[in-house]
């Protein structure tokens, strides 16, 4: 199971995405805000490089049952295959480095967890947020 290595970064970036949605579209419920925010592009996948490596080495075997985590794994695998095709013979070290530096197409968070994160961060004083 992939360990979330950069949780504070992810949560801060996700909070900012929620605030963008909230500021752009008024009168949305928290559920609607987080539903839209999780589909915003994310700065990264927020994983440690050893997690990318493990996902790539399994090559689609033993995909997570959790649908969101499965999407995350499939996106990383798609990117690693593309990099391999474009750079035959490339070492996994470089593949993971490239992917780790790329942005993600969305936040890989379930809607339920996303709501919890958003509520938690709304309660924190602004100075405690990592923005």
- Each domain of the chain, given as residue ranges in start order, spans 7-128
Angle subtended at Cα 76 by Cα 41 and Cα 78, rounded to the nearest 5 degrees = 105
Mean pLDDT of 51-78: 95
What's the pTM?
0.85
C-beta atoms surrounding 29 within 10 Å: 9
Q: What is the DSSP letter of 29?
A: -
pLDDT one-digit tens code per residue, 31-43: 999 999 999 999 9
pLDDT-derived band at 129, boundaries 50, 70, 90? low
């Amino acid at each position: 199971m992939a360990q979330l290595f950069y949780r504070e970064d992810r949560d801060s970036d996700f909070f900012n995405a929620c605030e963008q949605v909230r500021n752009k579209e008024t009168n949305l419920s928290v559920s609607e805000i987080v539903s839209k925010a999780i589909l915003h592009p994310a700065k990264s996948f927020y994983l440690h490089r050893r997690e990318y490596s493990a996902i790539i080495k399994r090559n689609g075997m033993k995909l997570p049952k959790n649908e969101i985590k499965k999407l995350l794994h499939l996106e990383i695998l798609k990117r690693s295959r593309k990099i391999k095709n474009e750079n035959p013979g490339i070492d996994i070290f470089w593949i993971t480095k490239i992917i780790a530096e790329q942005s993600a197409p969305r936040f890989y968070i379930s809607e339920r967890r996303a709501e919890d994160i958003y509520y938690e961060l709304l309660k924190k004083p602004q100075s405690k947020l990592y923005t």
